[in-house]
Amino acid sequence: MTAIEAVAATKPSPSRRLQWLTATVRDVSDETPRVRSLALDVPGWPGHRAGQHVDVRLTAEDGYQAQRSYSIASAPETPGVTLTVERIADGEISPYLAGEARAGDRFELRGPIGGYFVWAAALGGPLFLVAGGSGVVPLMAMLRHRAAAKSGLPATLLLSSRTAGDIIYGAELQRLAEQGSGLKVVHTLTRETPAGWQGFTRRIDRAMLDAVGFPPDAGARCFVCGPTPLVEAVARALRDLGHAPHLIKTERFGPTGLK
């Protein structure tokens, strides 16, 4: 063995290539009728940062493979990996993950992936998080990390959901906001509102961002995640309001039809 090989052999992960790992479902819990969280045990998991995602690969008995990407919902401080998955009717993987998967099931996963849409308390704030529907998942990892790190950095989450029943993490968000750590959570409902609803009842727009967000000169780190039309409209409105473009980070998914 040469000296260089000897050095390489002592490093815990000489290869930075992503390896497919085996994930075992530890627990499943429903967030809404269409959204489920899966707590996974992943031996060999190297750890992650809030905002990152994983690729999931399922293999059928005949060898057919399907692969998709899902955001990590859990804080880096929590052991294992929790995914929160919305069931998409014509999807190949989400009907299994968000419907049929049971404790003890196994599938393949690789990650963590992504070094752009990430936040850590050490990066500073304030933190302005804007999400549509299940776009809240990577932002929840940031808020869980913020809580685990006992960060008092001012943070605001603006979450757009279709109905009150579609709000993901509603109870946990309320609990986090009531801890007095400087987190504000604001909801808007776009389809249907319960009796006595006091919050917003429209799609996120510039006026709403201006009303609930930080002033542009506060230097807030903005993270926007959700369907493509929402993400593009919000990112544009934030720039128009004067937020610095390099502080606005986006992650989009969804149909092209509305573009």
Partner 1 sequence: MNTDRQADLTLDGNAAGGLLRELFAIDMTGAQITCGGCGAVAAVASVPDYGGIMGAILRCAHCDTAMLRITRTRAGLWLDMRGARVLFVAADIS
Q: Where do contacts with partner 1 occur on this chain (CB under 8 A)? A: 16-18, 53, 55, 67-71, 85-86, 88, 90-94, 110-111, 113-117, 134, 137-138, 225, 228, 249-257, 259
Give the CB-side neighbour count of residue 35, counting CA atoms within 13 A: 20
State whether residue 140 is helix, strand or coil: helix
Nearer to partner 1, 64 or 116 (CB): 116
Q: 87 with 35: CB under 8 angstroms?
A: yes
Q: How far is the CB of 160 from partner 1 (least distance, A)?
A: 16
The nearest distance, CB 9 to partner 1, in angstroms, is 18
Strand partners, 161: 189
Of 52, 43, 46, 48, nearest to 22 by C-alpha is 43
Least distance CB 93 / partner 1 (angstroms): 5
Q: Given the complex with partner 1, which of 38 and 177 has the nearer CB atom?
A: 38
CB of 211 to partner 1, least distance (A): 26
95/126 with CB nearer partner 1: 95
- The dihedral through the CA atoms of 106, 107, 111, 116 has a sign that is negative
Cα torsion angle, 156, 157, 160, 166, sign: negative
Cβ nearer to partner 1, comparing 11 with 16: 16
In a 3-state reduction of DSSP, which class is residue 37? Answer: strand
Query: In the complex, what is the shortest distance from the CB of residue 239 to partner 1, in angstroms, rounded to a whole number?
Result: 12
Cis check: omega of the bond before 229, within 30 degrees of 0: no
Smallest separation, CB 70 to partner 1 (Å):
6
Nearer residue to partner 1 within complex by CB, 69 or 174: 69
- State the minimum distance, in angstroms, from the CB of residue 6 to partner 1: 21
- Can you spell out the DSSP letters for 164-224? GGG-TTHHHHHHHHTT-SSEEEEEEESS---TT--SB-S---HHHHHHHS--GGG--EEEE
CA-closest candidate to residue 134, choices 103, 162, 110, 156: 162
Nearest residue (CB) to partner 1, 153 versus 231: 231
Please identify, using beta-carbon distances, which residue of 154 and 254 lies nearer to partner 1: 254
Distance CA 89, CA 80 (A): 28
